[in-house]
Amino acid sequence: MNRPGPLISLAFIVLAICVSAAGQIRRDVFAYKVGPRPVISVRNQYGRITVSPTAVDRVVVTVVHSDAVQILPTQNENRVEMITGSQPAGPRADNVDYQVLVPPDACVILSTAAGSLSAENLQGDLIFEGTTASVDARSLRNAHVHVKTLSGPITLREIRGGNVDVATASGEVTLLDVSGPMVQVHSGSGTIRYAGNPAGGFFKLVSGTGNINVSLPSAGLARFKARSVKGKLDHQVFGPQLAPLPAQGNALLQPALASFEIHSLRGNISLREASK
């Protein structure tokens, strides 16, 4: 278990700047020198966490918070952990906002109950955990992405080369130009949307009662196997020359670069070409 050491051993720089006249809002900046592939963990309760890359071998964290909230930083070798101290619950809860700069190859773990989580232009693995928090990740390369929320919306854009694993109870999931060896999305009641070029790999989209909508530039980019137990199957992606399939049946295209396996218990499934 990591323990905060002496301030000098943490090697951080703290700048406290009063934003309000009453001195109730602080802006703290923490900087840590790290090696290759560091692990960066930020745990918050209410507020935003935004992560973007920096070219240097440092992690720089800027935190905006009230004087009533304590920030607990820790560095243990190549791992940096930022924890927000006790935050009062309820409508008057103090938000704490993090802006985090990390090396592109860092493994990043983000957690917040309510607020937002976002990351862009990274190459290391990412883990997002939230309750009602929204998740937005874009322009990731060769990164394994794991997302778990209760009801927060999830948007993944321009992700290439890494495995993607998304699980949510009721949040809506949107995938735009996402591809990888394995892309899995499980949603209880939220809608799952995929649009763009899947490039290659295997896609598994599963919902309980939520609809699943897939739109590709061309039907020839992928083969599909789709089934809804009690919902409807709209497969215009197959083109008018193919005979319609039963709403509760299976749909299968000829082998292609990408493969989609789509299942829903009660939700409707729509497979279309983007131009149609």
- Whether 90 is in a domain gets the answer no
Overall number of domains in the chain: 1
pLDDT score for 89: 61
| Residue with tokens 């390369």, as numbered in its chain | 141
Predicted confidence (pLDDT) at residue 244 exceeds the cutoff of 60: no
Q: 181-235, pLDDT tens digit by residue?
A: 999 999 999 999 999 999 888 999 999 999 999 999 988 888 899 999 999 998 7
- Whether 152 is in a domain gets the answer yes
What residues make up the domain containing 190?
144-276
Q: Is the dihedral of CA 159, 160, 162, 167 positive or negative?
A: positive
- Whether 38 is in a domain gets the answer no
Cβ contacts of 141-146, under 8 Å, gap ≥ 24? none
- Whether 82 is in a domain gets the answer no
- Whether 231 is in a domain gets the answer yes
- Whether 127 is in a domain gets the answer no
Q: 78-88, pLDDT tens digit by residue?
A: 999 999 987 66
The two structure tokens encoding residue 218: 């061309």
- Whether 167 is in a domain gets the answer yes
Q: Using pLDDT thresholds of 50, 70 and 90, give the confidence band for residue 33.
A: very high
Q: Are 223 and 260 in contact (CB under 8 A)?
A: yes
Cα 109 to Cα 33, 49, 68, 127, 233: the distances in Å are 18, 11, 25, 5, 37
Predicted confidence (pLDDT) at residue 5 exceeds the cutoff of 60: no
pLDDT score for 219: 80
Q: Is the dihedral of CA 102, 152, 131, 180 positive or negative?
A: negative
- Whether 200 is in a domain gets the answer yes
| Calpha distance 148→269 (Å, rounded) | 23
Give the residue ranges of DSSP H helices in the chain.
7-10
pLDDT score for 85: 86
- Residues with Cβ within 8 Å of 7's Cβ and at least 6 positions away in sequence, in order, are none
- Pairing relationship of beta strands 46-53 and 97-102 according to DSSP bridges: parallel
